Structure 1
Amino acid sequence: MRAIVDRSYAHLVERLERLGVPRRWPPLLIVGIAAATTAVVLALVVGITGRTGGIDPPTAILPASAVKDGSTVVNAASAQVRSITMVTPNRWAAGWADCSTGPRCRYSAVIDRDGAKAIAPEWSVPYVTLRTGDEAIAVAPPREGTLTGDTTVLFRLTYDGPVTSRLRYVLPTRTFQRGEILTDRIVPGRIVVVNPEEWTVRMLQTQGTRSPFCDTTGRCWMLSGIGRTDIIWTDDGGTSWESAPLDETNQRGRLTVSPDGSTLVATAVAIDSRSETVASMRLSTDRGAHWTTVQQVPQNLKAAPVAFDDGTAVMLGARSGHRTPQLYRITTDGAEPEPGTPGTFTHLTGDTQLLYGPRVSNQRAIQVATSTDRGKTWQTFIPR
């Protein structure tokens, strides 16, 4: 019983701290504030709505674009896959784009949950696909690229059917809870926190700007730095951070972390007028305590590396002078090509159990290639 109280109190203190209540206040005062606040809120809810049950997804007034059926986008002859997030081969979310209808593209998303599928409403900016627990969801970012007013929409497929609802904006915070989603794909150059259970979205006030990843131990990683690249991490949901320098001259780095956080791959990227190339790559097999510079890395970076828990990684690229991409195995001994050519991917992600990414064929990406044996063999399907 004491353990339950301790956990509940710590959670309560963190919630109230977000509202401006200092941690140093006496426990009885904090509990009193929480009790009084809860009583007022319940009285208002019951008085206004007459309801005493659980919280439903927020009812939202959505823009007209969110009312349009997204199936015309997904099934268009010129549609392409923009993003894909897979939990298992039978649970995924895919973002689609159709840019054949005029100066502006149209976007939608498809979610598959164990064979049941649903199509998201049409949107004016690309959907972001994310993973939360054992399901994949799709988020439609605000059109102006900030969280200052325009709508952010969450689309998910539950056992009761599809749900589309506006995410509530809440005040920026320095902390987050385990189970919340950290992403740099909703607002460019900023880390955003999505809480699918409370239907909220907010900015994370942190030095990190890109490549957020939370491993299975609860540690969350990301990159920061202006004119340089540092790696930062937290084990307590952002209450405290540690950092280490990665690159003193390049701020275009990418970070890939294995599921358990034991393997880290940091890639410095050089961008010219035609493509991205690998400036350097470093590999850590002990959670960032020591780093090894990877030798013979292919210079053409077609997709970011994917790190495994065993101290290795894979990446898709090509040596200088070669146009056909190959899959390379990354170890502390260097980068070596794997047998076979999986093709050209727009991006590659996954883990030991499942590698996947949209594959380009005839200059279009309508198929997703998957591998369950770390890239030795591949299968394809159309995610719609």
Structure 2
Amino acid sequence: MERLREIYDDYFRDAVEWLSRHRGRRRFRPLIIVGVAAAALSVVLASVLWITERAGSGRPPIAYTPAAAPKDGHTVVNAEDAQVRSIAMVTKDRWAAGWSDCAKEPGCRYSAVIDRDGDKAVAPEWPVPYVTLRTGSEAIAVAPPPEGTLTGDATLLFRLTFDGPVTSKLRPVGSTTTFENGEILTDRIVPGAIVVVNLDDSTVRMLQTPGTRSPVCDLTGRCWLLTGVGRTDIVWTDDGGESWDSATLDEKNQRGRLTVSPDGRTLVTTAVDIGDSFETVATMRISTDRGLHWTTVEHPPWRLNAAPVAFNDGTAVVLGSRDGARTPQLYRIAEGSAHPDRGSPGMLTNLTTNAELLYSPQTSGRHATQVATSGDHGATWDYFVPR
């Protein structure tokens, strides 16, 4: 009934009130009858459509692809050997999780689950891993083109709205040098490139910028990237790419990672030795004044397992390991030094944060089947299975 009232308020209140004001005039009586009947019929039709959509919200969404519709993703998510590949969390009740099942030949199968305040939906099966992203108060899943280029097959967007799951194409629209506030920058859809995702018009486009990797936008609107061949530089823009500033971080190493705190004041970068399959840390640096001054972090982990995570209080954590150690652990970075943290919850795979939560998929046995979350910068942890 609440939805019916919303439909009435949005579309029919003004018309019915106008008709009511003229009910005493003889020449408007036929119009009153026709108008009220049309309004009532429209409410009924809209209600039927809404109820139909809500009733079917638990079913696999319809996907629009250039060839045949993909398979139902439930078989991937619920497979015996399924594991969590990625997680994007807005809150504990709003998240998107990417899943994989690699137990069967000839290759892996992928799907995703979105939770929106207790309502859940499963994305169609896809031949490459879903990318899970946060945008405002929403978590989404993007199915990249299998060819690894925007000129190939379709890029799919999977969302869970008030009226149920929606799967649609992300339309490629060439390249750009600028972007708008609210658009998403990511280097995970096309390998080796940064793309811009616009949810309002369902488009995706290549971003031509001085930066080439690790795009991060803080809550002030500033966006940061890393770049450099044989070196690591940091670049940033406050006007959506109209102009850029830059600074050199490491003149000898590249392939680094970047993290920025939500308020944009704490930054941590790492550079790794080229050619080392374990990504041995070459240098790790931290800034607590928005990149004006940098300090080299002492005693960093020998091997980097995931990008660091920075907090608004000038500290950070990083998932790494000592020389020869097979199990990664949490290191806490404070006052220019990194130290192993005793509160590490075990085998985490990829730390991420937003303004409220620190979270990561966690390996249990042979597979990552649950997610660890912390609301106090890693001091204590909770766990859940995102399916």
User: What is the TM-score of this pair, normalised by structure 1?
Assistant: 0.82
**What residue in structure 1 maps to residue 261 of structure 2?**
258
2:254–2:274 contact (8 Å) kept in structure 1: no
TM-aligned CA distance change 1:158 to 1:226, over 3 Å: same
Are 1:315 and 2:336 matched, yes or no? no
TM-aligned CA distance change 1:363 to 1:273, over 3 Å: farther
Are 1:223 and 2:226 matched, yes or no? yes
**What residue in structure 2 maps to residue 361 of structure 1?**
364
Moved more, 90-99 or 325-334: 325-334
2:63–2:70 contact (8 Å) kept in structure 1: no
2:145–2:154 contact (8 Å) kept in structure 1: yes
Are 1:239 and 2:242 matched, yes or no? yes
2:233–2:250 contact (8 Å) kept in structure 1: yes
**What residue in structure 1 maps to residue 122 of structure 2?**
119
- Give the distance between the partners of 1:251 and 1:326, measured in 2 at CA: 24
Per the TM alignment, residue 103 of structure 1 is displaced from its structure 2 partner at its CA by 2.1
Alignment of 1:206-355 (within 5 A): 206-270=209-273, 275-351=278-354, 353-355=356-358
**What residue in structure 1 maps to residue 133 of structure 2?**
130
SS in 2 for 1:223: strand
SS in 1 for 2:160: strand
1:268–1:278 contact (8 Å) kept in structure 2: yes
TM-aligned CA distance change 1:273 to 1:265, over 3 Å: closer
- Give the distance between the partners of 1:144 and 1:271, measured in 2 at CA: 27
Per the TM alignment, residue 376 of structure 1 is displaced from its structure 2 partner at its CA by 1.1
- Give the distance between the partners of 2:335 and 2:68, measured in 1 at CA: 50
1:74–1:98 contact (8 Å) kept in structure 2: yes
Per the TM alignment, residue 261 of structure 1 is displaced from its structure 2 partner at its CA by 0.8
2:286–2:336 contact (8 Å) kept in structure 1: no
Counterpart of 1:107, as a letter, is Y
Per the TM alignment, residue 66 of structure 1 is displaced from its structure 2 partner at its CA by 4.4
2:185–2:215 contact (8 Å) kept in structure 1: yes
Per the TM alignment, residue 303 of structure 1 is displaced from its structure 2 partner at its CA by 2.0
Flag structure 1 segments of 5+ consecutive residues without an equivalent. Answer: 1-58
User: What is the TM-score of this pair, normalised by structure 2?
Assistant: 0.81
Moved more, 345-354 or 209-218: 345-354
Counterpart of 1:214, as a letter, is C
SS in 2 for 1:268: strand
Aligned residues, how many? 326
Q: 2:203 aligns with which of 193, 200, 207?
A: 200
Are 1:89 and 2:64 matched, yes or no? no
- Give the distance between the partners of 1:221 and 1:211, measured in 2 at CA: 8
1:138–1:156 contact (8 Å) kept in structure 2: yes
Deviations 1:347-383 (A, max 9, x none): 1111452111111121211111111111111111110
1:302–1:345 contact (8 Å) kept in structure 2: no
- Give the distance between the partners of 1:171 and 1:324, measured in 2 at CA: 43
Counterpart of 1:362, as a letter, is G
Per the TM alignment, residue 258 of structure 1 is displaced from its structure 2 partner at its CA by 0.6
- Give the distance between the partners of 1:170 and 1:334, measured in 2 at CA: 45
2:74–2:122 contact (8 Å) kept in structure 1: yes
1:65–1:124 contact (8 Å) kept in structure 2: no
Per the TM alignment, residue 344 of structure 1 is displaced from its structure 2 partner at its CA by 1.4
SS in 2 for 1:172: strand
Per the TM alignment, residue 325 of structure 1 is displaced from its structure 2 partner at its CA by 3.1
- Give the distance between the partners of 1:142 and 1:302, measured in 2 at CA: 27
Flag structure 2 segments of 5+ consecutive residues without an equivalent. Answer: 1-61
Q: 1:99 aligns with which of 85, 98, 102?
A: 102
Per the TM alignment, residue 274 of structure 1 is displaced from its structure 2 partner at its CA by 5.3
Counterpart of 1:329, as a letter, is R
Per the TM alignment, residue 280 of structure 1 is displaced from its structure 2 partner at its CA by 1.1
SS in 2 for 1:129: strand
